[in-house]
Amino acid sequence: MGLLSRICSPRWGVAGGNPPIPLYVKGAVPKRRDGGFSRPGGLSNVGRRKAAVLPLLFLSVALALLAACAPKQTQTPPAKSLFTSFLVEADWLNANLSAPELALIDLRAAADYRQGHIPGAVNLSMAQITDPRNPVRGMLAPRAEMESIMRGLGVSQDSLVAIYDDGGAPGPGRLFWALHYYGMERIAVLNGGYAGWRKQGLPTDTAAATKAAGNYTATPNPSRSADKDYVKRSIGKAGTVILDVRSPAEYEGSVKSAQRGGHIPGAINVDWTNNLATVDGVARLKPADELRRLYEGLGITRDKEVIVHCQTGVRAGQTYFTLRYLGYGQVRLYDGSWEEWGNDASLPVAVGKGSDAPMR
């Protein structure tokens, strides 16, 4: 048995037995090298100093041995988060369908959901997260309503919310922005949507999923949204890009979807569909390098603030998601979009091609 094992055994001082090393006790008679004994008063000065140090030395050794015998404290490492990216692939989702933190939302029509969906997914209509009382069509539902809806779908504070539709619509991007604006950080969009899932022959279900109510708390983050006054102040502002993701015809004003046609002065036009590529009948997000070249080539770089808009904020949501996925940290969505701007005669409008088109 080693020294430390002997000391820590029940026979020794740690368990209540005799201490392994005798300590010097004041008043004890020290023994001389020749076998005799000296009187305490007969010690030399050096001997006295040594005798005074010995108790401290032995006490330090004893305390160190006691510490070595104490039970070791172990720390449980934090649970590894399921979240890794704002964009996920079908194989990854299929491997994590049973993860307790996953909240899977299907944005397709209710009839399509009933015919088949990804196992565990709950169905949500875009109309449910839209405010019908707002005079501007298509505005996001208020905080309390958004919170109640998400809790009813089983979303909690620690959930990873994964969103999908058929793969080529902007709905997942709109919900991504809505959740991001209301404080959710762990959100992902399924690349290729349900069409891509089926293309890979992955499992489906027809039974409606039921979830226990979640505890999600909606907390608005103003840095992820913009109103018309903020956008107006941003026109021509250095370091800020106003990004119009509508079609070129809407942007130029040849197609009108409000009282006035055209675009916000200085806005750059990148149709949201430029973010996608269809391969084998499945619409997927283009590779990140290709998307970076597209935006950076137009001066839309990650060091700038980007304000995205469309007609009602839905298509803009898809581009908001794309830019966040690419690592853009300063992105806002103008929720009123052209539905508000184009119907407000007090706001400036430009008509024609290019960000330098004349104002009217």
pLDDT of residue 358: 65
pLDDT of residue 33: 47
* pLDDT, average across residues 66-91: 64
Nearest C-alpha neighbor of 314 from the set 148, 129, 149, 152: 129
Q: Average the pLDDT over each of 57-66, 120-129, 162-171 and give the range with the smallest value.
A: 57-66
Report the share of the chain in percent with pLDDT over 70: 76
pLDDT at 13 over 80: no
Strands (E), 157-258: 160-164, 187-190, 225-226, 240-244
- Residue 353: band (very low, low, confident or very high) from pLDDT cuts 50, 70, 90: confident
Identified catalytic residue from 118, 258, 276, 310: 310
Q: Average the pLDDT over each of 63-77, 231-245, 272-286 and give the range with the smallest value.
A: 63-77
pLDDT of residue 104: 98
pLDDT of residue 354: 74
Domains and CATH numbers, the chain: 3-69 (no CATH), 87-220 (3.40.250.10), 223-341 (3.40.250.10)
Q: What contacts 302, CB < 8 A, 6 or more positions away?
A: 326, 327, 328, 329
pLDDT at 14 over 50: no
Verify whether residue 310 is a known catalytic residue.
yes
pLDDT of residue 30: 47
**Residue predicted with more confidence, 196 or 79:** 196
